C-alpha cells in the first residue's frame, strides 16, 4: 500500500477509522483490519476507544513498527500542560510508548495556537509523537500554523468525500507539503449508492459505489482516507478500492457532482471559509 511521507511521518493511504466503535466491537475491528493487511489505525481521545484500539493492536501480533497509529487531543485540552497530559493518557490507553501522528482534533475559539503548537512540537522532540498535525483546520488556521508559527504540520484531517468540496484545503496543503486525511470518506454510504453517476461508474468497473468513492479520494495527490468499518467483509471491500482504476471520464463525472454536503458541523466548528 502506498504511504504519504513528510515531517517524519510515513502514513499508509488507506486506514481504519474507529469512530464510533467502542469496547469489544472496536477491538475486534482493529484485530480484523490488521489481519487483512491494514497498517493505519485512526482513533482519538474523544472517541472513548483508545483502550480498545490498544487491545486490538496488542492482540493482533503485528510488529509495532509496521503500524501507523493516529490519535488526537480534544479542543478543551489545548493549553500546553493539557496537551502533555492528554498524550500521556492516550499512550497509556493505547499501550504504546509513542503514536505516529498526533493531531489537534478541533481548533478552539480563543486558543493560543502558537503555544499549543509549541507543546505539540515538544512531544515530537521527546519521541512521544513521530509527527504532529491538525484536524478540522480551514485554510486560515492552516496558514497561521504554518506561516506564522512555523510548525512542522504533517497532516490536516478533514471531512472529505465525493459530495463535499475541499479544494481550498487541498491546494494549500499541497503547496506546503501537508498530507490531507479524509474522514467520513464515504459520507453516508446509502447516499452514495443512490447517486446515479457513482452507480454507473461502479457498474463499469464491477465495483461498488463506495469503492468508487474511495478510489476517487485515494487517487488524488497527497490524500489518505480512514473509512470506519466494523465487519471484516466491509473492511475487505474497502481494501479492494485500491484495485479500482478510475479513468479521466470517471473523475470528471465525480468532480461535477454537487459538493455542498457537509455532515459534521458541531457547535464548536470553525468558520470553514
Phi, psi of 69 (to 5 degrees): -115, 125
Crossing angle of helices 209-218/248-255, nearest 10°? 100
172 as an active site residue: the answer is no
Closest CA to 134 of 270, 273, 255, 230: 270
**Alpha-carbon gap, residue 244 to 225, rounded angstroms:** 15
Cell numbers for 107, please give them. 481548533
Q: Do β-strands 153-159 and 179-183 pair in parallel, antiparallel, or remain unpaired?
A: parallel
Indicate which residue of 38, 47, 160, 172 is catalytic.
47
Which amino acids are annotated catalytic? 47
Amino acid at each position: 500500500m502506498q504511504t504519504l511521507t513528510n515531517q517524519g511521518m510515513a502514513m499508509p493511504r488507506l486506514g481504519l477509522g474507529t469512530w464510533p466503535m467502542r469496547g469489544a466491537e472496536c477491538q475486534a475491528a482493529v484485530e480484523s483490519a490488521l489481519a487483512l493487511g491494514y497498517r493505519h489505525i485512526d482513533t482519538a481521545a474523544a472517541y472513548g476507544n483508545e483502550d480498545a484500539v490498544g487491545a486490538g493492536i496488542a492482540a493482533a501480533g503485528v510488529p509495532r513498527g509496521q503500524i501507523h497509529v493516529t490519535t488526537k487531543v480534544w479542543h478543551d485540552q489545548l493549553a500546553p500542560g493539557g496537551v502533555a497530559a492528554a498524550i500521556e493518557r492516550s499512550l497509556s490507553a493505547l499501550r504504546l510508548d509513542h503514536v505516529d501522528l498526533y493531531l489537534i482534533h478541533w481548533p478552539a475559539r480563543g486558543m493560543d495556537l502558537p503555544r499549543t503548537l509549541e507543546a505539540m512540537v515538544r512531544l515530537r522532540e521527546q519521541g512521544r509523537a513521530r509527527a504532529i498535525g491538525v484536524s478540522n483546520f480551514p485554510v486560515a488556521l492552516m496558514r497561521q500554523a504554518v506561516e506564522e508559527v512555523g510548525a512542522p504540520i504533517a497532516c490536516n484531517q478533514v471531512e472529505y468525500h465525493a459530495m463535499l468540496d475541499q479544494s481550498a484545503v487541498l491546494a494549500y496543503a499541497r503547496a506546503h507539503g501537508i498530507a490531507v486525511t479524509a474522514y467520513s470518506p464515504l459520507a453516508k454510504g446509502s447516499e452514495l449508492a443512490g447517486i446515479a453517476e457513482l452507480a454507473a461508474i461502479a457498474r463499469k468497473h464491477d465495483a461498488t459505489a463506495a469503492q468508487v468513492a474511495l478510489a476517487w479520494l485515494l487517487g488524488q495527490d497527497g490524500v489518505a482516507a480512514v473509512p470506519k468499518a466494523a465487519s471484516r467483509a466491509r473492511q475487505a471491500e474497502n481494501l479492494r478500492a485500491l484495485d479500482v482504476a478510475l479513468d479521466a471520464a470517471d473523475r470528471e463525472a465525480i468532480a461535477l457532482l454537487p459538493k455542498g454536503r457537509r455532515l459534521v458541523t458541531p457547535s464548536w466548528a470553525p468558520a470553514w471559509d
